[in-house]
């Protein structure tokens, strides 16, 4: 089976690990070989969290520079920071709602312009799908559902060897019961948004 | 029921490496487990801790790794299957036990797990603990994948019982923190009660006994070598005149690399999962089939040196490559592209490097280092010490924990950090040979772990410094595990004692001891000043619960604060001195994020304009 490589980057607390978990469970449901690794970097203390997910017949659980097929950034400056994982064919999905690092919020560093971030990513990769996932999560009923919005967008690209039905089944069974409906709605909104991006 | 206790062999489950290891131990019938928490091993013990609450498995968080290993060693020598796990540097602490336990051996199966951390994702060094197998003479197994980590656990227990000695089980971060689909196996029954039969000439390591036991250890190594020769975990793959010998996660990158390069018919791989003692015959035969061999191993050239020695003895002249400037480094971790390139370079295979886009025109992206949480008591304590020490020339030896994060500006409150417990010991040396004021910091869990000995030393040798014990009621950094000073009733757990840090410090004979509440800023500064003025050893115990822990216990009572824009004169002392993540600037004015603010009120106390006030209910 062909190998597909996905990198997800996020800031601690954005629910990246749950997103990876849902993707892993989806692969298990789909009988697609999957391996993933996580670097937490003291997630709960505001550090960066990175997951690498490898589908198909590979033994490795990590992804080298330039080898991601899909990069998903939960935060725009983190998407930019992870560009070293991409190549000219990589598809990039990025949330456009920034979470400023502390140095920026106290005026000791500057956050790059969102337009500049998007231009740079577009110029250096195959394709960029960028939108405000936070807004869609709020629309779905909970800002914490940013992760499921982005999972929906990932599903829409068709890059991952997984079906929408299985994604939904995994969300239904592997995320908290109380949030399942919100999560499914978030997934749909993310899916539709990526579709719009054409 | 805990998911890892599921009794349905054959079922597939997506598991974290550390969960898979814990499951493997349960499948092996482990009945006794001890640890001191440390990343990347912590979720193994967390899983066992959780399972112990709903089964007859015994689990404990021990005071430190040395104690943990002693506790487990006794259980295993009473015939119970025991496991002891720790991070790589923890084995340094336990090494004294390890080295002679290797002479004593064990009756019940015993597995000692060391979680190494190449690249130092969360450690102070990246030592390669395979050397401990060589140093102690104990067998070593090392899985390459999450699935194999689970499979290897029952094997390691059986092997230990067969050989009558503990087996070392080495993982690296990329095993511990990877996820994969694991097929559950059968659960073996736990035997929780054992018995110890006296036999001083086998168990009391006086010189006369040890001289005999060392002979047995060497004989055991021969038996272990025979086991390694036939171990299913020493496997070969592929055909060809080019050979790769590898271990652990390097195997994954090697196997993928050979495939990507389209050289499966030219390269044979020997993967050593049972890597000490080495299966010498197997390696000799492998070398005999090769014209050139590449050794792929993260860390030190352990395999490389051994394989070269085997080749030399067998009179084999083939080139054997490994750690050289153009191939592999001893530094950090490997990755698939690096290994693919190494294989191509070594064997002269055409190779195209992945096309990473040119990123030289990227703007500077602001860093996002982890910081102390909003409401973290350490920030308040650091502030008090800094104020109290104003005008004094200071040295701040510190220790291992969340508080180490305070080394960054603007707090800049750590000058010297080596290992667990070293703040108290190093403070002794600094205070003796310099004329500076030495103030050392240590966490509560770390104090129990190994700080106590340093403090005793200080009192006995009459050193002159202040030790600040940051008592936040938990082992915060590794995920809020208990320690001997923790109130276990808060976790709804009975049957535990509780040791008072203050009573210990007083009993040691420290004459100047003060307990402070760091959120009371003025009082704390005064108390620290007095401690700094004291000639001799003084101790400040700074008590305030870790805010993240309080949140998980639903104990948080504080009310958020806000900046009154009418009063704020924009001095920004609050931001500059405290760097609390709840602050932000809006139109160049200081604001407080009510979602993040903990309500500790430290900033409200230091604002010269009294502009920071509670949010009205
Ligand atoms: S987890 Fe606790 S000790 Fe660690 S930084 Fe957060 S509040 Fe401080």
The 3-class secondary structure across B537-577, one letter per residue, is EEEEEEECCCHHHHHHCCCCCCCCEEECCCCCCCCCHHHHH
Residues B51 and B154 in one domain: yes
Q: Are residues B174 and B201 in the same domain?
A: yes
Q: How many domains does chain B have?
A: 4
Let me know whether B156 and B254 are in one domain.
no
> What is residue B509's predicted lDDT score, i.e. its pLDDT?
98
- Nearest residue on chain B to A60, alpha-carbon basis: B252
Residues of A in contact with B182 (CB under 8 A): none
> Is the Cβ pair A44, B368 closer than 8 Å?
no
B523, B552, B581 - which closes a domain: B552
Q: Residue B31 falls within a domain, yes or no?
A: yes
What burial class does residue A12 get, using C-beta atoms within 10 Å of its C-beta: 0-12 exposed, 13-18 middle, 19+ buried?
Answer: buried
The structure's pTM equals: 0.97
Same domain (yes/no): B209, B258? no
Q: Which of A44, A46, A60, A110 to mutate to test the interface with B (most CBs of B within 10 A)?
A: A60
Same domain, B406 and B442: yes
Within 261-320 of B, beta carbons closer than 8 Å to A belong to none
Q: Judge if the beta carbon of residue B303 lies within 6 A of ligand 1.
A: no
Selection from B129, B405, B35 nearest residue A47 by Cα: B405
**Tens of pLDDT along B589-603?**
999 999 899 999 999
Flag whether residue B122 sits within 8 Å of chain A, measured between CB atoms. Answer: yes
Asked if B434 and B486 sit in the same domain, the reply is: yes
The reply to whether ligand 1 has any atom less than 6 angstroms from the CB of B546 is yes
In this complex, is the C-beta atom of A1 within 8 Å of any C-beta atom belonging to chain B? no
Best to test chain B binding among A48, A54, A98, A105 (most B CBs inside 10 Å): A105
**Does B475 fall in a domain?**
yes
Chain B residues lying within 8 Å of A47, measured CB to CB: 368-370
Q: Do B215 and B241 share a structural domain?
A: no
Alpha-carbon separation of residue B502 from B108, B400, B466, B485, B508 (angstroms): 40, 21, 15, 10, 10
- Structural domains present in chain A: 4-196 (3.40.920.10)
Q: Is the distance from the beta carbon of residue B376 to the nearest atom of ligand 1 less than 6 Å?
A: yes
Contact check, Cβ <8 Å, B584/A100: yes
Collapsed DSSP state (helix, strand, coil) of residue B217: helix
- CB atoms under 10 Å from CB of A105, counted, come to 21
Of the CA atoms within 13 Å of residue B498, those in its CB half-sphere come to 13
- Residue A44: pLDDT above 80? no
Q: Is residue B195 part of a domain?
A: yes
pLDDT of residue B354: 86
Is 70 exceeded by the pLDDT of residue A41?
no
- Same domain? For B483 and B597 the reply is no
> Does B365 reside within a domain?
no
pLDDT tens across A183-192, in order? 999 999 999 9
Q: Are B579 and A78 an interchain contact pair (Cβ–Cβ within 8 Å)?
A: no
**Contacts with B, A 22-51, CB within 8 Å:** 24-25, 27-28, 33-42, 44-48
The complex's ipTM?
Answer: 0.96
Length of chain B equals: 617
Q: For the range B565-568, what are the long-range contacts, defined as Cβ-Cβ under 8 Å and sequence gap of 24 or more?
A: B565/B589, B567/B609, B567/B610, B567/B611, B568/B607, B568/B609, B568/B611
Q: Which residue reads 């499914």 in tokens?
A: A184
* Inside any domain, residue B427: yes
Q: Looking at the structure, tell me whether residues B335 and B460 fall in a common domain.
A: no
3-state class (DSSP) for residue B586: strand
- Same domain? B84 vs B175: yes
Profile chain B (617 residues) by mean pLDDT over runs of 10 residues. 97 98 98 97 97 97 98 98 98 98 98 97 96 98 98 98 98 97 97 97 97 98 98 96 98 97 96 98 98 98 98 97 97 97 97 90 92 95 98 97 92 97 98 98 98 98 98 94 94 94 98 98 98 98 96 88 96 92 92 94 96 91
Domain range for B600 is 561-614
Instruction: Please indicate, yes or no, if residue B322 is contained in any of the structural domains.
Output: yes
Facing residue for B181 by CB, picked from A34, A77, A105 = A34
Chain A residue with minimal CA distance to B11? A28
Question: SS in 3 state form for chain A?
Answer: CCCEEEEEEEECCCCHHHHHHHHHHHHHHHCCCEEEEEECCCHHHCCEEEEEEEECCCCCCCCCCCCCCEEEECCHHHHHHHHHHCCCCCEEEEECCCCCCHHHHCCCCCCCCHHHHHHHHHHHCCEEEEECHHHHHHHHCCHHHHHHHHHHHHHHHCCCCCCHHHHHHHHHHHCCHHHHHHHHHHHHHHHHHHHHCC
Q: What's the CATH code of the domain at B271?
A: 3.40.50.920
Is B356 within a domain? no
- Nearest-CB residue to B362 (from A21, A48, A120): A120
Q: Is the pLDDT of residue A138 over 90?
A: yes
pLDDT at B355: 87
> What is the C-alpha to C-alpha distance for residues A74 and A93, in angstroms, rounded to an integer?
9
What pLDDT shows up at residue B183?
Answer: 98
CB-nearest partner of B335 from A27, A64, A116: A64
Same domain, B415 and B519: yes
Asked if B444 and B530 sit in the same domain, the reply is yes
CATH number for the domain harbouring residue B537: 3.40.50.970
Answer whether residue B361 is part of any domain: no
Residue of B nearest to A20 (CA): B179
Domain boundary residue, one of B533, B552, B571: B552
Interface contact flag, A80 B548, Cβ < 8 Å: no
Q: State the CATH number of the domain containing residue B582.
A: 3.30.70.20
Structural domain ending residue among the three candidates B499, B528, B552:
B552
């Amino acid at each position: 089976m062909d190998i597909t490589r996905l990198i997800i980057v996020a800031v601690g607390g954005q629910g990246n690990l749950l997103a990876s978990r849902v993707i892993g469970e989806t692969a298990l449901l789909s009988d697609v070989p999957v391996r993933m690794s996580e670097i937490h970097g003291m997630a709960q203390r505001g550090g960066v969290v990175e997951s690498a997910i490898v589908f198909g017949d590979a033994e490795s659980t990590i992804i080298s520079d330039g080898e991601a097929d899909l990069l998903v950034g939960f935060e725009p400056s983190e998407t930019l920071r992870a560009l070293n994982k991409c190549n000219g064919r990589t598809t990039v999905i990025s949330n456009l709602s920034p979470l400023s690092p502390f140095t920026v919020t106290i005026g000791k560093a500057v956050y790059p312009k969102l337009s500049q971030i998007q231009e740079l990513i577009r110029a250096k990769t195959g394709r960029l799908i960028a939108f405000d996932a936070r807004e869609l999560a709020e629309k779905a009923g909970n800002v914490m559902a940013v992760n499921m919005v982005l999972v929906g967008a990932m599903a829409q690209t068709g890059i991952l060897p997984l079906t929408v039905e299985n994604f939904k089944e995994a969300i239904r069974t592997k995320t908290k019961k109380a949030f399942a409906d919100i999560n499914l709605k978030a997934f749909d909104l993310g899916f539709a948004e990526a579709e719009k991006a054409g | 029921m805990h998911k890892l206790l599921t009794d349905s062999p054959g079922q597939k489950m997506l598991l974290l490496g550390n969960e898979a290891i814990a499951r493997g131990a349960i499948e092996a019938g482990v009945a006794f487990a001890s640890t001191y928490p440390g990343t990347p091993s912590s979720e193994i013990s967390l899983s066992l801790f959780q399972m112990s609450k709903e089964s007859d498995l015994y689990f404990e968080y021990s005071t430190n790794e040395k104690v943990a290993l002693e506790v487990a060693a006794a259980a295993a020598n009473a015939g119970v299957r025991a496991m002891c796990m720790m991070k790589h540097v923890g084995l340094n602490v336990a090494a004294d036990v390890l080295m002679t336990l290797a002479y004593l051996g064990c009756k019940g199966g015993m597995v000692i797990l060391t979680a190494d951390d190449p690249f130092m994702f969360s450690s102070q060094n990246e030592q390669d603990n395979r050397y401990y197998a060589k140093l102690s003479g104990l067998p070593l197994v090392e899985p390459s994948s999450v699935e194999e980590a689970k499979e290897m656990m029952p094997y390691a227990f059986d092997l230990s019982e067969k050989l009558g000695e503990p087996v070392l089980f080495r993982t690296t971060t990329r095993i511990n923190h990877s996820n994969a689909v694991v097929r559950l196996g059968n659960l073996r029954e736990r035997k929780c009660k054992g018995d110890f039969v006296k036999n001083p000439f086998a168990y009391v390591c006086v010189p006369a006994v040890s001289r005999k036991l060392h002979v047995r250890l060497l004989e055991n190594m021969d038996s272990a070598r025979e086991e390694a020769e036939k171990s299913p975990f020493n496997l070969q793959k592929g055909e060809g005149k080019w050979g790769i010998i590898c271990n652990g996660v390097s195997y994954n990158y090697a196997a993928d690399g050979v495939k990507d390069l389209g050289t499966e018919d030219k390269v044979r791989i020997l993967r050593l999962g049972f890597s000490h003692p080495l299966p010498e015959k197997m390696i000799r035969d492998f070398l005999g089939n090769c014209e050139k061999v590449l050794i792929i191993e993260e860390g030190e050239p352990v395999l490389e040196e051994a394989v070269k020695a085997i080749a030399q003895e067998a009179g084999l002249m083939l080139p054997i490559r490994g750690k050289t400037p153009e191939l592999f480094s001893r530094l950090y971790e490997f990755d698939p592209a690096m290994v693919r390139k190494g294989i191509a370079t070594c064997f002269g295979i055409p190779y195209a490097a992945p096309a990473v886009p040119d990123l030289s025109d990227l703007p500077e992206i602001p860093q996002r280092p982890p910081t102390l949480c909003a409401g973290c008591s350490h920030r308040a304590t650091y502030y008090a010490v800094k104020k109290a020490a104003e005008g004094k020339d200071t040295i701040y030896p510190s220790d291992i924990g969340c508080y180490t994060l305070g080394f960054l500006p603007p707090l800049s409150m750590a000058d010297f950090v080596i290992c667990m417990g070293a703040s108290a010991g190093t403070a002794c040396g600094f205070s003796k040979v310099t004329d500076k004021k030495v103030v050392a910091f240590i966490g509560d869990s770390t104090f129990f772990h190994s700080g106590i000995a340093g403090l005793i030393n200080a009192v006995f040798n009459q050193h002159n410094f202040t030790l600040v014990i940051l008592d936040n009621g938990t082992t915060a950094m590794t995920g809020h595990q208990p320690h001997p000073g923790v109130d276990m009733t808060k976790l709804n757990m009975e049957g535990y004692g509780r040791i008072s840090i203050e009573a210990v410090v007083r009993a040691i004979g420290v004459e100047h001891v003060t307990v402070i509440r760091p959120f009371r800023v003025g009082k704390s500064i005064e108390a620290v000043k007095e401690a700094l003025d004291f000639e001799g050893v003084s101790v400040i115990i700074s008590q305030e619960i870790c805010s993240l822990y309080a949140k998980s216990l639903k104990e948080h009572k504080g009310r958020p604060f806000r900046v009154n824009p009418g009063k704020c004169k924009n001095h920004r002392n609050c931001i500059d001195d405290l760097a609390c993540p709840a602050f932000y600037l809006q139109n160049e004015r200081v604001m407080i994020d009510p979602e993040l603010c903990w309500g500790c009120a430290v900033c409200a106390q230091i604002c010269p304009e009294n502009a920071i006030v509670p949010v009205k209910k």
